[in-house]
Amino acid sequence: MSAAPAAPPLAVEMRGIVRRFPGVVANDGVDFDLRVGEVHALLGENGAGKSTLMNVLDGLYRPDAGEIIVGGQPVEFRSPRDAIAAGLGMVHQHFALVPTQTVTENVLIGLDRPRFRIDVGRYDDEVAELAARHGLAVDPRARIWQLSVGEQQRVEILKMLYRGARILILDEPTAVLAPQETQDLFRTLRSMVADGTSVVFISHKLGEVAQIADRVTVMRRGRVTAPGIPISETTTAGLAHLMVGREVVETIERTPFDSGPVVLSMRDVEAESDRGLPALRGISLDVRSGEILGVAGVAGNGQSELAQVLTGLRHCSHGSVTVNGVEVGNRTPRDAISQHVAYVPEDRTGVGTAPNLSVADNLIMKSYREAPVSRRWSIDTGAVRRLANRLREKYSIVAPSVETEARLLSGGNLQRLILAREIASEPRLMVAVQPTRGLDVGAIVTVHRLLLDQRQAGSATILISEDLDEILALADRVTVLYEGRLVGLFDAADADVAEIGMLMTGGTPSPAVAPGDATRIVP
Amino acid sequence: MTVQAPVRRPGRAAGLLPWRIHLERRLEVPRWLPVATTIGAVVVALVISGVILWFAGGDPIAIFIHIVRSSFGSLGVLSDTLVMATPLILTGLACALAFRMRLWNIGAEGQFLMGAWGASAVVLIPIVPAGTPSIITIPLMMVAGMLVGGVYGAIPGVLKAFRGVNEIIVTLMLNYIAALWIAYWVFGPWSEAGFQMTAQFPKGAWLPRLSDYSSAVPAFSGLTVHLGLIFGLVAAVLVRFLLFRSRTGYEIRLIGDSPRAARYAGVNVARNTVIVFALSGALAGLAGMSEVSGVVHRLQQAISPGYGFTAIIVAYIAKLHPYGVVVASIAFGALILAGREIQPSGIPAMIQGIILFCLIASEVVLRYRVRVERRVA
């Protein structure tokens, strides 16, 4: 680094950061540095370890190994309070604001001074002045509940600036913003950077990274795949590639695609997100028995909604969804289950399992209505235990016993539990969302093999994943979901990674992007 | 690892104590721990109560001995304790069942009163003529009590399931309505000669007591334990069966642990909300029936010293387990009974409150491993 004489001093340096969670290594020896007065983008798919790394920097998590240097001094933060005292502030995706209080009051919250709010007017002026200096348009006297999401974000930034933050970490700040608000934020960031503030910008949106960042670090599966590369030396396609990866986990033997009858058929399906915005805008597709359709795309483009519409968990505002010719759209989840629609959800602990119930109780979630588990209204605990032990054996779920609570299982074992249960329900349609996110290599291989076995057994599978390698390894056909629409449909055999990467990020495939470009910035 | 190097910890005042307490999330809870913490919490609560009693000028040891003696000391007082425990068992089960699904039914008191009213209506409207044998009257009263309590309980269930109304507010408010409903009937239509109580029920509407058989077994003489205790014990067995051996119980536990997982499994959450509230109300209603038919023998305003509220504490102490409810109810029955002999009369209520506080506090030990770390000077 001393080789470049023009390089400004480092604001933050993180070396060899390791942070483990039960069953997952979220950060596996990560190096990261932030120069004074730059915007450094931290890019990666969900679960790549970006937020974990920054939470370690902010003192929210303590690293299992590694060291952190801020302003040339080694530090060991015990809490975000320590971090802010060292001039380091983080704005999380979920804001921590009191809705009924004013902007100024929220800015002052938790500070030792002022002890009593006698002269709030004076602080209003202070906050207004600070906001004006950084182009953060917000009325200090407004109450939080009156503000738009974009304005609330400005309050969060103000909070950090008021506390003297010179290093600002923004965790996916644009995820909640409208396009115009994003541009406002970028203007603010540029003015702050010109002022000597350093910014870490966490994102998985390539276009924005290219627009705002000076340098970019790419993470994937807890490791850095591109360390602090100047943005001018990158291409969008190359970044997409580093993000979704190239490393092949294992070459899996697959039999040729033997297409059967159409199992799933969607026609012009539209649905809204939880916030009432259009999430699916006219999806039509067919999936045949014995086929795996891979749906690639960056998270937040309608993936969750697509899976929920298929499994009866979300209403579609328009269109039809049929499985084996029976309508399941706009019905209950139970209707989908009775059509043998199996679902491996992306949220394993919140949706896929009940954490405080036993492994056995979790294994019967789909079969407790039928013999042999239940007889009319009673549940045969002996049959439950036999079934659970059989599945535990067959799918090598590592647990002390089937009475163990599910929350004590590691990520890989939890996913094996979910797959065991779903496969045992003899699916005709299997909906799998991010089935290997956060898993270790061994577990990934198991999950892949199970999905291929299902394909062999004749079920139709729709695999929704951000991991392009996974899709290319498993799918027979590949399509890309972008902003609620399916763009492009390829046979997996002749799919072009660069082209798919462009489609994933909203670009149109162009011949200008040669495959060689993608590998240019690999370290 | 970075251990040495000047650790910069700005902005934090030096601690007042030479150590700091760390809480670490427990990943695994040993089987014995919940029982141990419950017993530990009760012991701590008794020590705290003892200190307060001592400051108040009493002799804590003597008072505790007196409490035990006056609630378990002889067959007679043991019987009285069980009479106190009976409505607590039924209302405690009502709360435990609802709480299992994280439905906060604070309305067992109101459902108890409505159950008592429903049972009374059988003999006061009257639905059966005077002189009907108890073999017909009692079952009818049970059905009426459970039906009225169940319907009353279903109201917050329906409101929550289909309109998303907060059940805590609704059940709390319904308690007041139930109390005033009883007041209306005992002051008005059912008043006996202007007194604020109804006429005594005919003998056919009385639950049999042990003392009724004292001619056959002389030892039973004076023992007021009535058939309601059996209702409570049978209900505990049934609730346990429902929760752990039935499809509905499985759905209740699933929803209670993770509503999103339950929806994913195809469970109809709204339907179960109504069912559980109705069952909970029916159990509390049966408690009301058992109390008017087994103890008071008439309907009046003061039939409950707050059983429906104590039931919440009972359910918690029992960790929402049906059999635990039976044990906790007997303990609280003893405390209520002994309370009559202790002055000032607020002391047993204070002990109850301290026990609850300690139990809630003990949850920390269950969830976290507490570590005390020396501060480095």
**Pair (A315, A167) in one structural domain:** no
Strand partners, A267: A320
- Rounded CA-CA distance A103/A93 in Å is 18
Of A379, A395, A425, the residue at which a domain comes to its end is A425
Of A390, A425, A460, the residue at which a domain comes to its end is A425
Asked if the C-beta of B376 comes within 8 angstroms of chain A's C-beta atoms, the answer is no
**Pair (A90, A171) in one structural domain:** yes
Mean of pLDDT values over A16-39 = 88
Residues from chain B contacting residue A353 (CB–CB below 8 Å): 258, 261
**Pair (B38, B163) in one structural domain:** no
Mutate to test the interface with B, among A361, A363, A401 (most CBs of B within 10 A): A361
Please report whether residue B2 resides in a domain: no
Cβ partners under 8 Å of residue A476, min gap 6 = A257, A291, A292, A293, A491, A492
The answer to whether B248 contacts A351, with C-beta atoms less than 8 Å apart, is no
Residue in chain B closest to A371 (alpha carbons) equals: B247
Please report whether residue B168 resides in a domain: yes
Residue ranges of alpha helices (H) inside A61-143 are 80-85, 103-108, 120-133
Please report whether residue B1 resides in a domain: no
Q: What is the CATH number of the domain that holds B296?
A: 1.10.3470
**Pair (A325, A434) in one structural domain:** yes
Of the partner residues B9, B244, B247, the one whose CB lies closest to the CB of residue A377: B247
What does the CA dihedral B343, B345, B350, B352 come to, rounded to 10 degrees?
110
* CB–CB contacts below 8 A, A to B: 103
Mutate to test the interface with A, among B101, B250, B271, B320 (most CBs of A within 10 A): B250
**Pair (A437, A378) in one structural domain:** no
pLDDT surpasses 70 at A330: yes
**Pair (A147, A166) in one structural domain:** yes
Please report whether residue A242 resides in a domain: no
Mean of pLDDT values over A24-51 = 87
pLDDT at B27: 59
Closest chain A C-alpha to B19 CA, distance in angstroms: 15
Asked if the C-beta of A87 comes within 8 angstroms of chain B's C-beta atoms, the answer is no
pLDDT at A121: 78
**Pair (B240, B349) in one structural domain:** no
**Pair (A474, A369) in one structural domain:** no
The answer to whether A378 contacts B247, with C-beta atoms less than 8 Å apart, is yes
- Note which residues in 381-410 of chain A have CB less than 8 A from chain B: 381, 408
* Three-class DSSP category at A347: coil
Q: What is the CATH number of the domain that holds A48?
A: 3.40.50.300
What does the CA dihedral A158, A163, A168, A173 come to, rounded to 10 degrees?
-30
The answer to whether B264 contacts A351, with C-beta atoms less than 8 Å apart, is yes
Residues from chain A contacting residue B260 (CB–CB below 8 Å): 347, 350-351
Please report whether residue A81 resides in a domain: yes
Query: Which residue type does B11 have?
Result: G
pLDDT at A440: 66
**Pair (A303, A222) in one structural domain:** no
User: Which of the four pLDDT bands, split at 50, 70 and 90, describes residue A441?
Assistant: low
- Note which residues in 34-53 of chain A have CB less than 8 A from chain B: none
Instruction: Give the per-residue SS3 of A213-279.
Output: CCEEEEEECCEEEEEEEEHHHCCHHHHHHHHHCCCCCCCCCCCCCCCCCEEEEEEEEEEECCCCCEE
Residues from chain B contacting residue A374 (CB–CB below 8 Å): 247
**Pair (B291, B228) in one structural domain:** yes
**Pair (A227, A208) in one structural domain:** yes
Of the partner residues B28, B247, B266, the one whose CB lies closest to the CB of residue A374: B247
The answer to whether A379 contacts B245, with C-beta atoms less than 8 Å apart, is yes
Asked if the C-beta of B30 comes within 8 angstroms of chain A's C-beta atoms, the answer is no
**Pair (B49, B102) in one structural domain:** no
pLDDT at B274: 97
Other beta carbons within 10 angstroms of residue A3's beta carbon come to: 5
Q: Are A382 and A373 in contact (CB under 8 A)?
A: no
**Pair (B61, B97) in one structural domain:** no
Of the partner residues A351, A354, A377, the one whose CB lies closest to the CB of residue B257: A354
pLDDT surpasses 60 at A3: no
Mean of pLDDT values over A235-239 = 77
Asked if the C-beta of A378 comes within 8 angstroms of chain B's C-beta atoms, the answer is yes
**Pair (B271, B364) in one structural domain:** no
Mean of pLDDT values over A216-220 = 90
Please report whether residue B332 resides in a domain: no
**Pair (B58, B81) in one structural domain:** no
Asked if the C-beta of A364 comes within 8 angstroms of chain B's C-beta atoms, the answer is yes
Predicted ipTM > 0.85: no
Asked if the C-beta of A356 comes within 8 angstroms of chain B's C-beta atoms, the answer is yes
- Rounded CA-CA distance B180/B118 in Å is 15
Instruction: Give the per-residue SS3 of chain B.
Output: CCCCCCCCCCCCCCCCCCEEEEEEECCCCCCHHHHHHHHHHHHHHHHHHHHHHHHCCCCHHHHHHHHHHHHHCCHHHHHHHHHHHHHHHHHHHHHHHHHHCCCCCCCHHHHHHHHHHHHHHHHHCCCCCCCCCHHHHHHHHHHHHHHHHHHHHHHHHHHHHHHCCCHHHHHHHHHHHHHHHHHHHHHCCCCECCECECCCCCHHHCCCEHHHHCCCCHHHCCCCCECHHHHHHHHHHHHHHHHHHEHHHHHHHHHHHCHHHHHHCCCCHHHHHHHHHHHHHHHHHHHHHHHHHHHHCCCECCCCCCHHHHHHHHHHHCCCCHHHHHHHHHHHHHHHHHHCCCCCCHHHHHHHHHHHHHHHHHHHHHHEEEEEEECCC
The answer to whether A361 contacts B253, with C-beta atoms less than 8 Å apart, is yes
**Pair (B206, B106) in one structural domain:** yes
pLDDT surpasses 60 at A246: no
For the record, the structure tokens of A328 come out as 């399941």
pLDDT at A386: 94
User: Which residue range is the domain that position B69 belongs to?
Assistant: 32-73+341-371
- The packing angle between helices B134-163 and B108-124, to 10°, is 140
Closest chain A C-alpha to B343 CA, distance in angstroms: 45
**Pair (A212, A280) in one structural domain:** no
**Pair (B133, B234) in one structural domain:** yes
Of the partner residues A82, A311, A334, the one whose CB lies closest to the CB of residue B11: A82
Asked if the C-beta of A352 comes within 8 angstroms of chain B's C-beta atoms, the answer is yes
Residue in chain B closest to A422 (alpha carbons) equals: B265
**Pair (A415, A432) in one structural domain:** no
Closest chain B C-alpha to A444 CA, distance in angstroms: 23
**Pair (B234, B306) in one structural domain:** yes
- pTM, rounded to two decimals: 0.75
Please report whether residue B5 resides in a domain: no
**Pair (A107, A202) in one structural domain:** yes
Mean of pLDDT values over A80-92 = 90
- Note which residues in 231-260 of chain B have CB less than 8 A from chain A: 244-250, 253-254, 257-258, 260
Please report whether residue B55 resides in a domain: yes
User: Which residue range is the domain that position A86 belongs to?
Assistant: 10-234
What does the CA dihedral B358, B361, B363, B369 come to, rounded to 10 degrees?
-120
- Rounded CA-CA distance B314/B294 in Å is 22
Of the partner residues A81, A374, A408, the one whose CB lies closest to the CB of residue B11: A81
pLDDT at A174: 81
Number of structural domains (chain B) is 2
Please report whether residue A479 resides in a domain: yes
Residues of chain B with pLDDT under 70: 1-20, 22-29, 343-345, 371, 373-377
Of A211, A234, A257, the residue at which a domain comes to its end is A234
Q: Are A485 and A197 in contact (CB under 8 A)?
A: no
Please report whether residue B83 resides in a domain: yes
Do the strands A215-220 and A223-230 form a parallel or antiparallel pair, or are they unpaired? antiparallel
Least confident of A30-39, A382-391, B194-203: B194-203
Q: Locate the DSSP E strands across A289-441.
A: 292-296, 316-323, 326-327, 341-344, 374-375, 378-379, 429-433
**Pair (A29, A153) in one structural domain:** yes
Residues from chain A contacting residue B247 (CB–CB below 8 Å): 368-369, 374, 377-379
The answer to whether A311 contacts B5, with C-beta atoms less than 8 Å apart, is no
Mean of pLDDT values over A122-126 = 86
**Pair (B245, B301) in one structural domain:** yes
Please report whether residue A241 resides in a domain: no
The answer to whether A353 contacts B261, with C-beta atoms less than 8 Å apart, is yes
Number of structural domains (chain A) is 3
**Pair (B106, B59) in one structural domain:** no
Asked if the C-beta of A137 comes within 8 angstroms of chain B's C-beta atoms, the answer is no
Please report whether residue B14 resides in a domain: no
Residues from chain B contacting residue A354 (CB–CB below 8 Å): 253-254, 257-258, 261-262
Question: What does the DSSP 8-state code read for residue A493?
Answer: G
